[in-house]
Amino acid sequence: MSPSADALARPLEVPADQHRHAMAGFFGIMALWGVGNQEMRRMLGAPPERTFYEWKSGQVRRLSADTLRRIGYVAGIYKALQILYSDPAQADQWVQKPNRHFGGQTPLARMAAGDVTDLAEVRAYLDAARAPWS
């Protein structure tokens, strides 16, 4: 029996505890990269300040699909950097260095521009760079 069209159209249900783990992972990566609160908020889609600080303190309930997608891009960017650079410190510093591909701005500035497509662009750039090793 194949799934109904309605079942396929609905997003996958993610248990609430996994939302907390996703957000904890996001904040862990941000700490490694030395990212400030305002940049983090923009990467997460500009949630209200109160909500952001609740998330930061570990009070995470359900996250929107958009927020989970953004966290997924950040996790993919982190993973790609760990694959590309044998030195974890060098991988973490990459986001702070100006890059010609992003018009001379840092990858972090591009990711923090606010749109999910900015995160996708950085991810795509790194995926292309690591393609020979994939």
Residue 45 tokens read as 């889609």
Sign of torsion over alpha carbons 78, 117, 21, 25: positive
pLDDT of residue 108: 97
**Whole-angstrom distance, CA of residue 78 vs CA of residue 38:** 19
Length of the chain: 134
pTM confidence score: 0.86
Helices and strands (H, E) in the chain, number of each type = 8, 0
Dump pLDDT digits (tens) for 94-128: 999 999 999 999 999 999 999 999 999 999 999 99
Domain ranges for the chain? 15-133
Contact 119, 74 (CB under 8 A): yes
